[in-house]
Amino acid sequence: MDKVSMSIECPSCKGKAVMTELIKEIPHFGKTLFSNLRCTECNFNLNDVSSDSEKKPVKYSVEIKTEKDLTVKIVKSSTSTVIIPEIGARIEPTVNSQGYFTNIEGLLNKIEESLSFTAFEEEEKDAQKVKEKLMKRITDAKEVKFIFTVIVKDPFGNGALIGEKIIKEDLTEKEVFELKTRMNFLEH
């Protein structure tokens, strides 16, 4: 495990930031680069996870049927799209996308936390009802009250699911084109 830190200019405030990188071997995935950029002045923080070698565009999927399945690991890079169709969740890469390494339960917690920060005006009662329904669906997913699928697509091969019952497929050229086009659209 090689860990390197260096001072650089913060991309947000131009103050002093520290970039830390760590390479770690992840079983069934290979050498992985974990990066963190943290500004000591404005508290800007950016994380990413990527393979240390070029990989093929890939799609991983897994059905979550039991509580044990919640322990499946997910490597979500800044270029990964994560989809859980049964709860209507879609995490797409943007300029501010961050990478992380967690498990399915941790992913559900991140989605729940993100949704909890979403506020609606008084006149948006329908939207508030949809939010409450989604929060309930996420809670039920964390308790595996229904079977759901987690899909990770990455046109650069940096994202992955690690565990039993994982299905790994190559992305088609069309899927790669659509993901990259969507990334470019979301970044502007």
Question: What is the DSSP secondary-structure string of 85-141?
Answer: GGGTEEE---TT---EEEEHHHHHHHHHHHHHT----TT-HHHHHHHHHHHHHHHHH
Q: Which of 52-66, 93-107, 140-154, 163-177 has the highest mean pLDDT?
A: 140-154
**Residue 62: other Cβ atoms inside 10 A:** 22
In this predicted model, what pLDDT tens digit does every residue of 107-124 receive, in sequence order? 999 999 988 877 767 667
Of the options 2.60.120.10, 3.40.50.2300, 3.30.70.580, 2.60.120.1040, the CATH number for the domain spanning 54-187: 2.60.120.1040
pTM of the model: 0.75
Instruction: Report pLDDT for 74.
Output: 95
Q: H-helix or E-strand containing 61?
A: strand 58-64
In this predicted model, what pLDDT tens digit does every residue of 166-187 receive, in sequence order? 999 999 899 888 888 776 665 5
Contact indicator for 182, 175 with CB cutoff of 8 Å: no
Task: Tell me which fold the domain 1-53 belongs to.
Answer: N-terminal domain of TfIIb (2.20.25)
Q: Give backbone dihedrals phi and psi of 79, rounded to 5 degrees, phi first.
A: -105, 5
Q: Which residues of the chain form CATH 2.60.120.1040?
A: 54-187
Q: Which of 82-86, 96-100, 169-173 has the highest mean pLDDT?
A: 82-86
Instruction: Report pLDDT for 188.
Output: 46
Percent of the chain with pLDDT over 70: 90
Looking at per-residue confidence, does 72 or 11 come out higher? 72
Instruction: Report pLDDT for 120.
Output: 66
Q: What is the pLDDT of the chain when averaged over all its residues?
A: 87
Q: Which residues of the chain form CATH 2.20.25?
A: 1-53
Interval 144-167 mean pLDDT:
94
